[in-house]
Structures are given as structure tokens and as C-alpha cells.
Structure 1
Amino acid sequence: MSLTRRQTAAALLALPLALTATPALAHGGGGPRGGGHRPRTLHLAGDSTAAQKYADAAPETGWGMALPFFLGPHLGVANHAVNGRSSKSFVDEGRLTALLDGVRPDDLVLIQFGHNDEKTEDPARGTDPWTTYQEYLRLYLKGARERRAHPVLITPVERRRFADDGTARPTHGQYPAAMRALAAEERVPVVDAQALSLARWQRLGPDGTEPLFNWLEPGESPNYPDGRQDNTHFRPAGAVEVARMTARALLEARALAPRDVRRLDAPVPEHLITWPRPA
């Protein structure tokens, strides 16, 4: 990355994000009920855009890796997101069961799927937005509620796609609308990451969004010796953008209280993002 692009990415980290209103949780957010001392945990179910990345994938960064920067130290994040998973395959592989095993009363269960549900040619992952997609998402809601936790639906964050005239293009078809409709029907909060990110990419434009995504020149990273032009997955700057967006929206939805969030208007230096080695 050239110096100019590094400076651009650093500046983007500090820019504010637009918000949309989301339904409020009935309990209004805050700390654990009953005065307990167990840290409240945010459990994240999702795909590669949110997942933990390791040293062999750097600088690719899931937004779940950056989420703790915007949360108070009394909150924990259990990132169960995995590359390539859909709402269906995450369940079928037993990953939802594993996630729910760690859920306790008053925790949050954040649910973001759509990228791989769209791959309808793959029977292991593809879903129909208005039938099977909603049916699988209901399993997440049911599991969280049975444990007296609070589910939050998150529409899939947008890819970096622009029309010839520079207009940011939506790429997720009917899946965001189907999730919004399910959230309204089930009366659960929805973080509309699709709408928020699409608006953000539009303001930044094709050049301004490039430093957020995993675009690399040949030789820039030993993990990608031939370079990369990835319009789906993030670099640290993009992961921070989406994590900041999510924390703001959770506060707006009252899924989190003001004491639960921090740094919403402060830059997060890229060097704070680290990639552990695979176990």
C-alpha cells in the first residue's frame, strides 16, 4: 500500500457513520439482570465478512474482530462467524448448537447471514429469502429466547460494487428485505448493515472505498503475492467501519446502553488489529 492510501485509510477510520432507527429491546439494554457479576457477552453468528481471520489470511479482517474496540471492558464478544457459512449451513453443521451452549440470560445473539444464502446453486448453503432463509433465522431467534437472551438480526453488509456512473449498487437481492420483514414480525431489533453500508460506500465512492476492502498490489502482502482485488472482504479499515456502524446501531436500538459503548467517534489505529496463528 502506498503512503497516500495508508493516510486515506487512517482518515476513514475516524469518520462518522449514518444511522437508521431500529426497534428497541423491551428491557432497554444495560448490564446483567439481578446484579450478577458475569460479563454480558455478545455472541456473533455469521459468515466470512464477520469472522476471525488468522495470520495466513492477513490483512483480511472480519468486522467481528474490531467490535470489541467499541464495547466497554465489562462486555465480551464470542465470535462464532465462519467463512463460507449461510444461515442454513451454520445450523446443519451444528454451529448454532455450539453457540447456544455458551449463551446465558441477558446476553446478545447477533445474527448476520445473506452472502452465502444467495448461492442457491449450492444445496448445502442456498436458501430462498422468503421461505427457508426466514425459517432458518427463526431457529436462531428461538434458541436465544429459550435461554432468555436477546437476538438481534443484522442484514448482510454490502459488497463494493459501483455502476459506471459511480452509484453504489445493492448486491443482496431480497435477503435484506426478508430479514427486515422477519424482524418486524418477530419484534426483534435489526441492525440494517446493508442499508448503512450501501449509503456509506456511496458517500465514499469507488476510490474512497478501495482502502476498506482487501485490495492489494502484487508483492504488498506475502499472503497474496500476486495481489488481490476483493470487493467482499475487508482490510482493518473496513472492519473498523462496519464494527463502529454495528455498535452505533446497537446503541440506537437500545440493545446496548450508553455505558456499554466507547470510541464511537474516535479513530482506531490499524496496528491494533492482530491476526493470531491458527491453532
Structure 2
Amino acid sequence: MQISRRALLGTAAGAAVLAVPSPAHAARRRPTVFVAGDSTAATYAVADHPRAGWGQALHVFLDRRVRVVNEALSGASSKSFADLGRLDRILAAIRPGDVLLVSFGHNDEKTTDPARGTLPWTTFQDYLRLYLDGARAARATPVLVTPVERRRFTADGVPYLSHGEYPASMRALAAETRTPLIDLEALSFDLWGRLGPEATKDHFLWLDAGESPNYPDGVQDNTHFQAHGAIEVARLVVAAGHCLPGRDHRALRRTDLPDTLLTWPETRPAES
């Protein structure tokens, strides 16, 4: 497989410019959680409300001293995110002690798209290594996050998996490279199965006509979330992410968290 020279050099260069902060500076700096991912994790704008990604809701389960930089980009794969320079942007900003959550798969599965498609046991792992190596070169902690499962049920209401071998490939890479793993595919699949076909509609972007001015004709989206679902998927990520700084255990125990804890900026930050 051919990874672009620019992607490789960009990763190396991004790591090279990082200076180790002085102890005094490190004490003042807030720990940061960076998110590299796709539309399921992205932050959405006012015009998209109530659509939300789980990266948009991470702060709900982290204390205020932790900063979240959500670089997740709608439509991105592990390949296109790196090729577009988005990984370089993270590596130019990440510092020792920070965490990089890496979650791809949905768009890597589009193997007929040369800009995005990867193969699970070769190019997918090769691109993911760029994220792991870049974070480690910056003395930050990379964490692999398997892709969140879609809302898929048989006619009998039985959930089924949709991501093929990509999650297994990520699990194998995590074991090989001794990288922390959050198995969001397994965690979300279990949650959707417990909720069932009807209750999951309150988590995914299912809206009746007239329910939201942003979706006047209604919408039935089995991949993306509305606020409640984004919060619950973020809960899964933080609960399983033992290496995340500042986990708010009180928030993790609460079952009454309102959707109003999320905010929607005027524009999608990763696209502006």
C-alpha cells in the first residue's frame, strides 16, 4: 500500500515541532482530549440541530479542567483525514499528557472510493499507525475507538453488526501495538440490543415531519445521532476510557442528563 509522502512527512514534521513544556507551564496547561473521527463523532452546527456527534458530548462526562478539541470530520476515513492534513493539524497542537481518540471505520468501508476506502487488514491498519506513531512521538496517549454501531435490526427486532472486519482489525492493531482500546462497536451494539428497535429511535436522528424546523419533512437516519444518543454514546466512551483525564464519575452515574448540556455553534468547527 502507498501512503503519501506528504502524509508521512507531515506526521513526522508535526511531531518534530513539539517542544516539551516547562514544569511550570505544564502545571498551568489544561489536559486536552483530541478526537480524530468521522460524522458519528463530529460537532454539528445550529442548522443541524438536534443532530449531534459523540465527540460533541464528551465534555458532559469530563471535569472542567479538561479541554476537548473535536476535530472529527463528516465523511472522513482514516485515509482521507490524514491525506487532507487533519492529522497534521492535531499533531501540531498535541502535547505531552494529552489524549488522542482515534475512531474510524464507517467511511473506510467505502472501498470503491479511492479517496476514502481502505482494506481492514492492510491499508486501514497502515493509516491508523500514523495516528498512533504521531501521538506517541509527541508523548501523548493514543486510544483506538472501534466504530460505533449503526441502528440495524432484523424484521424480528434482533440487532446485527454492520462494520465487517474493521473493528476486529482495530482490536488486533491495539493488541499488537499495546494501544488502549475502547470497543465502542461492542458497547453500542449491546446498548442498541437492550433498547430495541423503537427506543433506539430516540437516540438516532429519527424525527417526525414538523418536529424540527431543520428537518421539516422528518428524517430517519440510522447512522447519526440526536442529542440524547450523542450523550449516551459519549457516556460509553468515557466510562470505558480509563486513561482519559478528569472523568466525572458523578455525571457517568446520572441517568437524567438533559439534552441542553450540548451546544451547537453557528458553523461546524471542523469544516470552517
Scaled by the length of structure 1, the TM-score of the pair is 0.85
CA deviation string 1:119-139 (max 9, x = no partner): 111110000000000000000
Residue number in structure 1 paired with 2:109:
118
Q: 2:31, 2:57 → 1: CA distance?
A: 18
Q: Tell me: higher relative CO, structure 1 or 2? Use CA pairs within 8 A at least 6 residues apart.
A: 1
Among 131, 135, 144, the alignment partner of 2:126 is 135
Query: Which shows bigger deviation, 166-175 or 260-269?
Result: 260-269
Partner of 1:261: 248
Residues 33, 106 of structure 1: 8 Å contact kept: no
Q: Secondary structure at the match of 1:158?
A: coil
Looking at structure 1, the residues matched to 265 and 100 of structure 2 have their Cα atoms a distance apart, in angstroms, of 24
CA distance in 2, matches of 1:87, 1:184: 19
User: What secondary structure is seen at the aligned counterpart in 2 of 1:125?
Assistant: coil
CA shift at 1:260, angstroms?
3.3
What are the within-5 Å matches in structure 2 for residues 35-74 of structure 1?
36-74=27-65
Q: Report the RMSD for the aligned CA atoms in angstroms.
A: 1.5
Residue 18 of structure 1 corresponds to none
SS of the residue 2:253 aligns to: coil
CA offset at residue 256 of structure 1? 3.0
Match runs of 1:215-226 below 5 Å: 215-226=206-217
For residues 196 and 108 of structure 2, the distance between their equivalents in structure 1, rounded to whole angstroms, comes to: 27
2:170 maps to 1:182: no
Q: Report the count of equivalent residues.
A: 244
Cα 1:33–1:180 change in 2 (3 A) is farther
Query: What letter is aligned with 2:253?
Result: D
User: Greater shift after overlay, 185-194 or 163-172?
Assistant: 163-172
Q: Deviations over 1:179-200 (max 9, x none)?
A: 0000000001100000000011
Matching residue's letter, 2:223: T
Secondary structure in 2 matching 1:264: helix
User: TM-score under structure 2 normalisation?
Assistant: 0.87
Equivalent residue number for residue 102 of structure 1: 93
Are 1:104 and 1:149, in contact at CA under 8 Å, matched by a contact in 2? yes
Task: Tell me the CA shift for residue 33 of structure 1.
Answer: 10
Q: Which runs of 4+ in 1 moved over 3 A?
A: 32-35
2:162 aligned to 158, 171, 191, which one?
171
Identity of aligned residues (%): 55
Q: AA paired with 2:205?
A: N
Gap runs ≥5 in structure 2: 1-20
Higher normalized helix content (fraction of residues): 2
In the TM superposition, residue 37 of structure 1 has moved relative to its aligned partner by 2.1
How far did residue 238 of structure 1 move? 0.4
